[in-house]
Amino acid sequence: MYYVIYRVNHCMLDQVRIVLVNTSHMGNVGGVARAMKNMGINNLYLVDPEGTASDQSAVARASGASDVLQSSVVCQTLDEALEGCSVVIGASARSRHIPWPLCTPRECAKKISQVTEHNNQVALVFGRESRGLTNEELHRCTMHVHIPTNADFSSLNLAAAVQILCYEVRLAWENTLESKEKTPQLDNVWGVDWDYEMATHDDLEHFFVHLESTLVAIKFLDPKTPKQLMTRLRRLYQRTGMDKVEVNVLRGILAAIDKNTLV
């Protein structure tokens, strides 16, 4: 008999729950469900909401994430919703009388990826649309997270705030997957998976020889006063990192020009 043991990569995201306290607009709960599911987070807790997750406005904004709404857990108190959580992070817009450990969304996500390594549960807590979390609620948190905003217009939509934090959590999770074998990033600025092999130095040099002779033939380049023309063209084509097909296309164009040029 064989036991197949495999690592479930979703675990970190499954260890995170989103807790909404006393939400007024069920449309926002729908928006939150969609934002969560987009990032692969599915555990939603509603503390004393002013409506139900099956409200039409919630389902409409969820737009395909109604499974997250349906499986949401409704609680009467914040403590109920936080049961079993080792780390509780409250979203906070204001600075408080009593300073609390405060982190950025990115630091928050890093913290989550650290604590979830050990099978801990984490809650991300969001307050009312109108006035966030009360001081009493904030004091139930391990730490606070503050999303950087324009000081003159700092109040984010609830679903937007959840979106940013879930996005950071997802990036941190993807990062843990990638760093398993940690292949060094070769700062490929164009993004990998190019469709064709890259041109080589000699492909380019042949292209430049051809380009120069064609430019002379069409009388754009005067060999007696070449100035910096070829230098500029070299810089342009070399920095763009051409693939073999692109070089072939350009050489095909040069050949067509040659054929059509008056002698």
Contact residues toward a copy of itself (CB under 8 A) are: 31, 34-35, 37-40, 61, 63-65, 98-99, 101-103, 106, 143, 147-150, 153-157, 159-160, 163-164, 167, 170-171, 174, 187, 189-191, 193-195, 215, 217-220, 229, 232-233, 236-237, 239-240, 242, 245-246, 249, 252-253, 256-257, 259-262
Distance CA 110, CA 118 (A): 14
In sequence order, the 6+-apart residues with CB closer than 8 A to the CB of 157 are: 28, 31, 129
Neighbours of 174 (CB within 10 A): 14
Q: Where does residue 187 rank: exposed (0-12), middle (13-18), buried (19+ CB within 10 A)?
A: exposed
Distance CA 124, CA 144 (A): 9
Taken as a whole, the chain contains a residue count of 263
Nearer to a copy of itself, 58 or 81 (CB): 58
Angle (nearest 5°) at CA 84 between 78 and 87? 80
Nearer to a copy of itself, 12 or 242 (CB): 242
- The sign one gets for the Cα dihedral 239, 240, 244, 249 is negative
Nearer to a copy of itself, 180 or 239 (CB): 239
Give me the least distance between CB of 86 and a copy of itself, in Å please: 15
Nearer to a copy of itself, 4 or 189 (CB): 189
Nearer to a copy of itself, 136 or 195 (CB): 195
Nearer to a copy of itself, 81 or 221 (CB): 221
Give me the least distance between CB of 123 and a copy of itself, in Å please: 19
Nearest 10 degrees: CA dihedral of 170, 174, 175, 178? 180
